[in-house]
Structure 1
Amino acid sequence: MKAATLRLYQTLHTWVGLMAGWALFIAFFAGAITVFHEELHTWQSPDRALADRPAAQGADPAALDHFMRALVAAHPRSAESAYVTLPTVHEPEFTAYWLDQDGNWQTSSSGKLEAGRNTPGDTSLDAAHGELAAFIDSLHYTLGVPVAGNYFMGAVSVLYGLALVSGVLLHLPRLKADLFAVRPGRNLKRFWMDAHNVIGLFSLPFHLVFAITGAVLCLAMVLITTFNVLAFDGKLFEALPRLTTASPELKAAGRPAPMLPAATLMEAARASAGARFTPLSVRYQHYGDARALIEIRGNSARALGNYGSVSVHAAAGQPDSGRVLADQTAGRRDANHAIYSAIYALHFGTYGDLALRLVYLIGGLAGAFLFYSGNLLWIESRRKTRQAEQPRVHRLLAQATVGVCIGCCIGVAAAFCGALVWPGRVAGWHYFPVFFAALAWALLRAPARAAIELLWAAAAGAALVPAVNAAMTGDYLWQAALAGHWAVAGFDFGALALACGFAVLALATRRRARNGPPHSVWALPARGDPATAAKVAKVPASLAEPS
């Protein structure tokens, strides 16, 4: 390959990586946690002793019938279309979602209905969106900024794919020689470059999956709108439900009719989908009407695209009562549903058990490290040798990289602690002040000093998570582990492991700052020289402290 072509790929890889690196770090760090989304509910919930309760107990069809009757009686609007998640080990209640007359989503649960909590404040979706697990998930795909953040992350995913392709083409000529070349020693820059390249090459399939599926999931509405105008003559939106669900959108008959028992409907779905199918949620259309439908959604074991659904006519006393209208589960669905399900499963790792999700967790954290180290390596590779004053843009990039990446880690730790100390407050109120405070701190300090200080703060924040959990709920780490409550103990163990990792990085950064090239932006100013510190950090000398 020509040298000019390689330089072009290197430039593309570098600048695309820099532009997308900060957002991708947050997405990967939060996404690694989101792999255990359901378990995070259990970790936060005060009544999380559900590990002692059999999972099948909450999915009692008779209980679903009772819940739907209570829901429609309290909220008649939900009869038109209601999504209901079935109870699990991690979620003890039925939870329903529906649109009100203004087009706003509402929610309720079996606990709220039994307690008579049916006011607009009780059914608002704001509390659900602000809950810790939902916020971490939102941080993963929108950076915590609704709607606009979703489209932004779609664009970032496209740039991410360009960086991957250009990186492969860049390293392809020397792939055989450098594949296992990780050279430790005094040249720390070379060591980190080798580690960055090896991690990137071996995790390439993992990253390609996220680049493609992330772009599709975040930009789906943009793609649909574009194809609707250019290729489908404005008819794509009408066909969209048939492409993504098993239930057609039908108009109500306007004639009341009793509903078939949920047990009968579940049995019809299992008979069609097979024994491997496990219902997780349902959607009722026109509950109590002669044209009522139920779409039973769930997972099929031993399938890549494991998520699917079965549509059944749900009204009793009708010619087609209990008849399966469509089966879009593994092995029985069309190509559109198969691709849609596979994209979802590949992105969130739902097609495997605990071992696969642990692989996704480790891969997500490794990916976050890849973006952090990539930015640091680029800044160091542009260092002017034997020049004390480094370019201002490099220093600002170093400070922003430290503030955004490490600030995200500290903010997530604060969100975990805040979810237990102030459970009624939206998780974003705990995350964003800490995140922006860390970013501001990084911009006011020399890059190396800020990195060391914030890494120690991240270590302290992560270590606080199990401590706050024990203090607020009495779920001591060793007690939860011995009792087999791994949804609780797992997060506490993970927080301690992250605390150790941040501490190791802080020590390594400090060693590099003291023993590395003195003119690097990652070098600490000379001890006792506040003027030099101010010059490096570009802040007034009165704000620079001796090291």
Structure 2
Amino acid sequence: MRLKPLKPRMYNAIFHAHTVSGIVISFALYVIFFAGAISLFMNELYRWENPEARFESINPEIVDYDQITSIVQQQVEGFDITSQFGMMPPTKTNPLMLFYGTIKHSDGKKERFSTYINPTTHEITPPNKPKTHMAHTLYELHYFGQIPIVGGYLSGLVAFFFIFAIITGLLIHWKNMVSKFYSFTSKGKWKQIWTNSHISLGFITLPFQLIYAVTGALLCLSIFLLAPSAFLMFGGDTSQVLKAVNPEAGYRHDQNAKTLHDYTSLNSIYAKVKAANPETDITYLYTTNYTKEDGTISVRTDDRIGIAGDGLFIYSGQDGRLLQSVDPEEKTYTSAAFRVLVKLHYANFGGPLMKIIYFFLSMVTCYVIISGVMIWQTARDNDRYTAKQKKFHHRITKFYLAITLSMFPALALIFLANISVPMDMPNRAELINTIFFLGWLLLTILGLFWNEYRQLNRNFILIGCILGLLVPIANGVFTGDWLWKTLLSGQYYVYAVDAIWLIIGLFGILIYKKYLSKQSSKVIA
């Protein structure tokens, strides 16, 4: 069937809606995709990020979870065992255990805390004072977590408008999308090059972008979506909605319940779940109202391959009875929907290959965003606009490019800061974050002094590549783990990070020398 074009009036309205929505969210969307692409490998980065975690992971089945809980009780002042606490068993990517809990202060106020625990030596880092936070900083950046209270909502709104931009882009290009895909060329006027590449690459990454836009909007704006659902289906009872998507929410716990002297062992629950699901990993073990007669122990599992391969098992803390289970093979739609959204968003399925695919698609999306900005700019670089208007358009474009393109050298900077700042320095994580964000700001300001887009792009690539080449060198100097040593000793995650930075640095400098170092009288990127 031949596609029919939109009527001129409708086309113009949708075209302008697509342009305005895209320009408004472009730099924020770029930050989300760029930071999100790196944070996909948050777990894989941890051994490189924390030199103290560069030891062989132990089998999580031999960890004494009851003893870990007792040690936390002894060493963390005010630890409230009856409030929800939990732990993530050690993995191949991270040999340390992550423990979450609650501290009850003398005035009755409660504070959530997290800490890393060595499962072999039982050494505990000070609560809420991690020695390193690099990957988490990038992860938080991808949903603007550094902005208090409203950051997540802002990223959700960006995702929502991204859905709008995708739909309007599809409507205005659907007539010639296929023909432009096959006729793409790097020759001709820059406006045509930007337009063809924007359409072609946007067409290729369309399903991926739509998945990220929808899941991002749902995850960040879920509170606004659950409220109408509660009124429409459950008479305003939001707890019923939460129970539908999260079975744990259906259990009520009484803080005044009777305290037990003999309660179910965490080790026994872990062993029971593992015996019933030998092919899956236990990803999270946590309890609510532990040591009370109505306490529960919950276990999350995941095969890390299937998109619906995760499960949940809830046991009674009093006698170890299985109260409820969400078996991966017998899930209902409501119990599976939310976790599927999470897996789709974070690529927690399909193994490492899926994360690599997501990463490259995210980088292509970053280019699509930048090319959209350049289309907007080149379309306004003509005699229809006054000199004042052209100057305004130029400043907006330069501002957007300075923010986005400076993320590459800023990324290399946070890696260098993380490996060079001593591990025993007080407030180390805060210092590294300050170096990253201040460095990003200074690089952005520096970019505003470069008037040609080619110069701006060229300089940021050169700075980023030089800093990137220093990353494996800095790792060798400060930790002694040189590239060849990590390869020979089997520290493949550490080796991979250094090798990738080395490849990026060398490849980027080759691009700089061959293509970007050429002078041009045109204002191009």
Q: TM-score band, normalised by the shorter chain? A: 0.7 to 0.9
Map 1:328-407; keep pairs closer than 5 Å.
328-384=326-382, 389=387, 391-407=390-406
Partner Cα distance (1:249, 1:456) in 2: 58
Match of 1:496 in 2: 502
The CA distance in 2 between the partners of 1:502 and 1:245, in whole Å, is 49
Q: How far apart, CA to CA, are the structure 2 residues paired with 1:379 and 1:507?
A: 27
Cα distance change on mapping 1:509 and 1:70 into 2, 3 Å? same
Root-mean-square deviation over aligned CA pairs: 2.9
What stretches of structure 1 of length at least 5 have no aligned partner? 316-320, 524-547
Shift in alpha-carbon separation, 1:453–1:388, aligned structure 2, 3 A: farther
- The within-5 A match list for 1:136-535 is 136-142=138-144, 144-225=146-227, 227-228=229-230, 232-237=234-239, 240=242, 243-246=245-248, 248-251=251-254, 253-270=257-274, 274-300=277-303, 302-315=305-318, 321-384=319-382, 389=387, 391-422=390-421, 423=423, 424-426=428-430, 427-448=432-453, 449-500=455-506, 502-503=508-509, 506=512, 510=516, 514=520, 516=522, 520=523, 522=524
CA distance in 1, matches of 2:68, 2:270: 16
Q: Paired residue for 1:8, among 6, 13, 26? A: 13
Are residues 117 and 96 of structure 1, via their aligned partners in 2, closer, same or farther at CA, if it must alter by over 3 Å?
Answer: closer
Q: Deviations over 1:291-337 (max 9, x none)?
A: 3321011213542123332111133xxxxx22211112322333222
Q: SS of the residue aligned with 2:92?
A: coil
Range moving further from structure 2, 398-407 or 254-263: 254-263
- In 2, the alpha carbon distance for the partners of 1:258 and 1:289 equals 10
Counterpart-to-counterpart distance in 1, 2:386 and 2:246: 59
Q: 1:417 corresponds to which letter in structure 2?
A: L
Residue 3 of structure 2 corresponds to which residue in structure 1? none
Identity in percent: 19
Q: Could you say if the C-alpha distance between residues 113 and 145 of structure 1 is closer, same or farther in structure 2, counting changes exceeding 3 Å?
A: farther
| Partners of 1:306 and 1:330 within 8 A in 2 | yes
Q: Which amino acid aligns with 1:27?
A: I
> Deviation at 1:230?
7.0
The 8 Å contact of residues 245 and 336 in structure 2, kept in 1 or not, is answered as: no
Report the CA distance between 1:37 and its aligned residue.
0.9
Q: Does 1:105 align with 2:112?
A: yes
Residue 386 of structure 1: how far off its partner (Å): 11
* Contact 2:36–2:142 under 8 Å retained in 1: yes
Q: Deviations over 1:512-537 (max 9, x none)?
A: 86054xxx4x39xxxxxxxxxxxxxx
Determine whether 1:36 maps to 2:44: no
5+ residue gaps in structure 2? 1-5
Bigger mean CA deviation after superposition, 302-311 or 25-34? 302-311
The SS at the match of 2:194 is: helix
Match for 2:474: what amino acid? Answer: V
Distance 1:513 1:193, change over 3 A: farther
Structure 2 Cα separation of the partners of residues 336 and 6 of structure 1:
39
Amino acid at match of 2:144: T
How far does the alpha carbon of each residue in 1:470-492 deviate from its partner, in whole angstroms, 9 at most, with x for none?
Answer: 22112222332343322112222
1:80: how far off? 2.4
Alpha-carbon deviations, 1:45-95, whole Å to 9, x = none? 113433x445xx23425x112111222344441332102111112322332
Q: In the alignment, residue 485 of structure 1 is paired with which amino acid? A: Q
Are the counterparts in 1 of residues 245 and 337 from structure 2 also a CA contact under 8 Å? no
- The residue type equivalent to 2:480 in the other structure is G
The reply to whether residue 69 of structure 1 matches residue 58 of structure 2 is no
Equivalent-residue separation in structure 1 for 2:87 and 2:117 (angstroms): 10
In structure 2, C-alpha distance between the alignment counterparts of 1:16 and 1:507, rounded to whole Å: 36
Distance 1:472 1:313 in 2: 49
2: distance between equivalents of 1:492 and 1:181?
Answer: 39
CA 1:357 to 1:9, structure 2 compared with 1: closer, same or farther past 3 Å? same
Alignment correspondent of 1:533? none
CA distance in 2, matches of 1:113, 1:263: 16
Match of 2:50 in 1: 45
Paired residue type of 1:291: D
Give the partner amino acid of 1:42: R
CA deviation vs aligned residue, 1:163-207 (integer Å, no higher than 9, x gap)? 111111111111232222221225344233322211110110000
Contact kept in structure 2, 1:409 and 1:458, CA below 8 Å: yes
- Cα distance change on mapping 1:115 and 1:176 into 2, 3 Å: closer
Q: What amino acid does structure 2 have at the position aligned with 1:296?
A: V
Rounded to whole Å, the distance in 2 between the matches of 1:428 and 1:201 is 36
How many residues align? The count is 504
TM-score (norm 1): 0.84
Distance 1:240 1:493 in 2: 44
1 CA distance for matches of 2:514 and 2:16?
29
**2:137 corresponds to 1:132:** no
